[in-house]
Structures are given as C-alpha cells and as structure tokens.
C-alpha cells in the first residue's frame, strides 16, 4: 500500500512569515489552517494559509525527520529550499496533486 505524507511550508499574504508542518492529507490540512477556530494557533495568529512548498514522502518517519530538520534551519536556508521549486514564491494551494 502506498502512503503519502507531506512536509510543507506556508506563508502569510505578505510572505514575511514561514510555517513548516507535516500531514498525511494536504487538502484537508490547508483547509484546517485557513478555517481554524483556534485563534491562538501560529497559523491563525500570523495568517499563514498560503502554500509555497511541499514534498511527498512514503514513510511518516522520513517526513517527520525532514520537518524537524527544516524547522531548525535559518530563514535563508528555508528560502533557498522554496526557491528551488518555486522561485516566484507563487501560492500553490490549488496545485496539490
């Protein structure tokens, strides 16, 4: 059975904040971020709803390890990662396959 896990990076409208997460369902998770009832959550507080980057993994352990590594990176290194696949920093929420 093929499993899909995703590490993703979100930003706010002005692209000043980056949020890294992991999920097994990108569409659902993006919906949850956008429609959160928890106004104290990071993504609600900073309005991080816009997908800039995601990567698919077959095993959850690999996805979690990568998410943790990214979270430890500098802003510059995260920007470099995004620039590799999305140099214009387009919002790709509707491009999830």
Per-domain residue ranges for the chain? 5-95
pLDDT tens digits for range 7-19: 999 999 999 999 9
pLDDT tens digits for range 40-50: 999 999 999 99
CATH number of the structural domain 5-95: 3.40.1440.10
Six token digits for residue 79: 């920007």
Q: Residue 37: its pLDDT value, please?
A: 82
pLDDT tens digits for range 19-37: 999 999 999 999 999 998 8
Sheet holding 5-11, edge to edge: 18-23, 5-11, 50-57
Q: Residue 36: its pLDDT value, please?
A: 86
Of the candidates 17, 15, 10, the residue with the CA atom closest to the CA atom of residue 67: 10
Question: Whole-model pTM?
Answer: 0.94
Q: Residue 1: its pLDDT value, please?
A: 64
Judged by phi (left if over 0) then psi (alpha if -120 to 50, else beta), residue 22 lies in beta
What are the residues whose beta carbons fall under 8 Å from the beta carbon of 86, sequence distance 6 or more? 52, 53, 92
Q: Residue 11: its pLDDT value, please?
A: 98
Please report, for residues 2, 3, 28, 49, 60, the alpha-carbon distance to residue 86 in angstroms, rounded to integers and kept in the order given. 26, 25, 22, 16, 24
Quickly state the pLDDT bin for 3 (edges 50, 70, 90). Answer: confident
Please report, for residues 31, 60, 64, the alpha-carbon distance to residue 68 in angstroms, rounded to integers and kept in the order given. 23, 12, 6
């Amino acid at each position: 059975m093929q499993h899909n896990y995703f590490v993703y990076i979100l930003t706010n409208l002005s692209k000043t904040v980056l949020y890294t997460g992991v999920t097994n369902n990108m569409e659902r998770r993006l919906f949850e971020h956008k429609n959160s009832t928890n106004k104290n959550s990071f993504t609600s507080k900073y309005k991080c709803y816009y997908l800039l980057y995601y990567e698919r993994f077959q095993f959850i352990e690999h996805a979690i390890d990568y998410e943790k590594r990214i979270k430890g990176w500098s802003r510059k290194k995260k920007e470099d990662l995004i620039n590799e696949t999305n140099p214009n920093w387009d919002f790709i929420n509707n491009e999830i396959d």
